[in-house]
Structure 1
């Protein structure tokens, strides 16, 4: 061998030479790559899981909100104070004029003596709050509005007609006199006696209700 000829690579093919550590490192990198490859889609799956959890949290919060919402007032268990009952009737009559009596069957089925029937007032109070929940509440939705139109309102109309459809304000009078029958634009029956009915329901609901105003003296009870 000439003195100018470089020696053969002493580590070629020899694990103990310089190529041995490089080959081992290559095998280690290759093994790590095989281990990591299945995890390449993990960030996307984590994002999907986070989205599912977010939707679930929103659903739970919505259910909790509906469950914890303030209950609708009830006429049958209204506070025994004239101001509270008068306020409730004021809200109800405003809603009747704006919403309920716009429906011909509702107008036709509501007797003019509706204020003298606690069950009718109760039906209308809860129906008013069902309408508010469907159109104005935090969980308002087209589905709730559809249920109000398709099931709730017709059910109230049907029960009022079945239970009191033949009643009238004259049947609540003990005296012989009757007020003149008027026609024209529909009005809220008995509106002028709301305060009197409210006071009766607040303080004397276990006794007979007041007669229509034309037949009794001011402040009288039967």
Structure 2
């Protein structure tokens, strides 16, 4: 083999090694890009303290933005009615919106549900976890948190569903405004008290059938 042939062979081998390294780098870049996308979806953007309940962003207890809070509650109410209340133990007292911890529990449960069933992020394991652990755990904690509470107990001087309809959903905007601006929840008005009493009475009857 001539010196020229040897040089060409060495160059060819070096080029082959370089091409393999470039291919490995391209694979690594694609993996890093996918990881960044997952992290972006899993964590709130800088300065974003709340978001829609199903986005996995923020939460209710730390909410500060009135509009985002109201949007998140409307999204949460739709999900509670279409998913959470479909389960036998998925009951809510009429005063659920007046319990920030209840809203927070449902908020993250909604986010976990959305992630579990997401086309890209979801998996059968996550779906199983949601059904087996997350949802029953939230239902159990909500029963412990609110017990037999009712809206009348949230009026001044006190201690503190119809079917699958979320109780007093029309109070969401007032609740969101009060909580995100002052952390002081509004006193229920007379019409809400009547609606709550009717709801709680009907739920009590269903529970003793």
* TM-score category, normalised to shorter length: 0.5 to 0.7
Q: How many residues align?
A: 162
For 1:59-138, list aligned pairs within 5 A: 62-69=34-41, 70-71=43-44, 72-81=57-66, 83-105=67-89, 107-108=90-91, 110-136=92-118, 138=120
Q: Contact (CA 8 Å) 1:73, 1:125: kept in 2 or not?
A: no
User: In the alignment, is the contact (CA less than 8 A) between 2:175 and 2:186 conserved in 1?
Assistant: yes
- Deviation at 1:121? 0.5
**Structure-2 change in CA distance of 1:87 and 1:157 (3 Å):** same
Gap change, CA 1:212 and 1:154, over 3 Å in 2 = farther
Alignment gaps of 5+ in structure 2: 1-19, 45-56, 194-209
CA gap of 1:208–1:115, structure 2 versus 1, over 3 A, is closer
TM-score computed with the length of structure 1 as normaliser: 0.61
Structure label with greater radius of gyration: 1
Question: Offset of 1:210 from its aligned partner?
Answer: 2.6
SS of the aligned residue for 1:104 comes to coil
Looking at structure 2, the residues matched to 88 and 117 of structure 1 have their Cα atoms a distance apart, in angstroms, of 16
The alignment's C-alpha RMSD in Å is 3.2
Structure 1 residues 184 and 160: alpha-carbon distance in aligned structure 2, compared to 1, 3 A threshold:
closer
Runs of 4+ in 1 over 3 A off after TM superposition: 52-65
C-alpha contact (below 8 Å) 2:155/2:187 kept by paired residues: no
Q: 1:214 and 2:191 equivalent?
A: yes
User: How far did 1:60 drift?
Assistant: 6.0
Counterpart pick for 2:176 among 191, 194, 198:
198
Contact 2:168-2:192 within 8 A present in 1 as well: no
CA distance in 2: counterparts of 1:202 and 1:213, whole angstroms = 24
Q: Is the 8 A contact 1:131 1:145 kept in 2?
A: yes
Following TM superposition, by how much is the alpha carbon of 1:214 offset from its aligned partner in structure 2, in angstroms?
2.7
Quote the offset at 1:73 in angstroms. 2.6
Deviation string 1:26-65 (CA, Å, 9 cap, x unpaired) is: xxxxxxxxxxxxxxxxxxxxx9xxxx99998877665443
CA contact (8 A) 2:70 2:176 kept: yes
Length-normalised TM-score, structure 2: 0.64
Larger proportion of helix = 2
